[in-house]
Amino acid sequence: MEFTKMHGLGNDFLIFYGERELPENVSELAVAWCNRYFGVGGDGLVFILPSDEADFKMRIINSDGSEAEQCGNAIRCVSKYVYDNGYTDKTEITIETLGAGVQQVSLQIEDGKAKTVRVDMGEPILDGLAVPTTLPGNPVLSRPIETDGRKFDFTAVSMGNPHCVIYVEDAPNFDLNTWGPKLEVHPYFPRKINVEFATVTSRDRVEMRVWERGAGPTLACGTGACATLVSSVLNGYTDRAAWIGLKGGDLFIEWDERDNHVYMTGPAEAVFTGNTGL
């Protein structure tokens, strides 16, 4: 099985094209191949499959073997992959996702390659039970949560996958590895959750660090950046368009009040190609 190693702001994946469906033992393969010491290394596997509804279908298997409903960085990688490798010549394409349905993607081309990717991430889900959390409310806004003796306030947002956004004084230096895994499995979150720690620095910029459900700390999270922008607007901290600063770089996120859709713009890069030996 041939793959291409790609990343979106350091959130890295092994991209597979040409399979008709997921391999039967895909969870075990993800754990083995994503291992950074004994495998290729990555935050997950991404399979580009045929779709009856869109130009392509994307399935994402996290490094722990679980499946993710959606991933903003992965969809940018997939979009660049299919264009740069000649599987489409369109600059406006559609990609089917497990949790967010069919999403519209626009490619900016430079020297025959996709330079940046703008994704219509759809409408945020704000109803607490639908995110899902165990808490009623629409939205679940700045609600208290406690774990291991420490209290936080969180806002719940789903972008096709669930997010818990928490504001802290210094997100870039926050103790992500201590609090991320505890909050991921908190009883409020029946399907676990992605946790974003955010610090607002201006009306158009938020610094954010993420603990991803099923992958742990990653350098970037596209859906997390979208959730952070939505949360920041709901809490009155930012305008409806802002830069989200991640450890791997910046994403520009817009929440358009005309259609209620969230739009994400950012880069994707191919690193190398290889063969798994299977």
Q: What would the pLDDT profile of 103-121 be if each residue is shown by its tens digit? A: 999 999 999 999 999 999 9
Mean per-residue pLDDT of the chain: 97
- Percentage of residues in the chain with pLDDT exceeding 70? 100
pLDDT score at 14: 98
- Token readout for 171 is 């997100």
Instruction: Evaluate if residue 278 carries a pLDDT over 70.
Output: no
Whether the pLDDT of residue 6 is over 90: the answer is yes
62 is known to lie in a ligand binding site: yes
**Global pTM?**
0.94
Residue 77 has pLDDT above 80, yes or no: yes
Distances (CA, A) of 149 to 1, 182, 209, 263: 47, 11, 22, 37
Contact status, residue 155 vs residue 258, Cβ threshold 8 Å: no
What span, in angstroms and rounded, lies between the C-alpha atoms of 194 and 232?
16
List, for residues 36-64, the tens digit of each pLDDT value: 999 999 999 999 999 999 999 999 999 99
User: Is 173 marked as binding a ligand?
Assistant: no
Specify the pLDDT at position 262. Answer: 98
pLDDT tens by residue, 164-197? 999 999 999 999 999 999 999 999 999 999 999 9
Angle between helices 72-84 and 222-234 (to 10 degrees): 130
Q: Is the pLDDT of residue 277 over 90?
A: no
Q: Which residues are catalytic?
A: 71, 221
Handedness of CA 203, 209, 213, 214 (dihedral sign): positive
**Residue of 46, 23, 43 whose CA lies nearest to 34:** 43
Residue 136 pLDDT class (50, 70, 90 cuts): very high
> What percentage of the chain has pLDDT greater than the value 90?
98
Q: What is the pLDDT of residues 191-229, one digit of tens each?
A: 999 999 999 999 999 999 999 999 999 999 999 999 999
Q: Give 276's pLDDT tier (boundaries 50, 70, 90).
A: confident
35 labelled ligand-binding: no
- Residue 84 dihedral angles phi and psi, to the nearest 5°: -65, -30
- Is it the case that residue 69 has pLDDT exceeding 90? yes
Q: Is 161 annotated as a binding residue?
A: yes
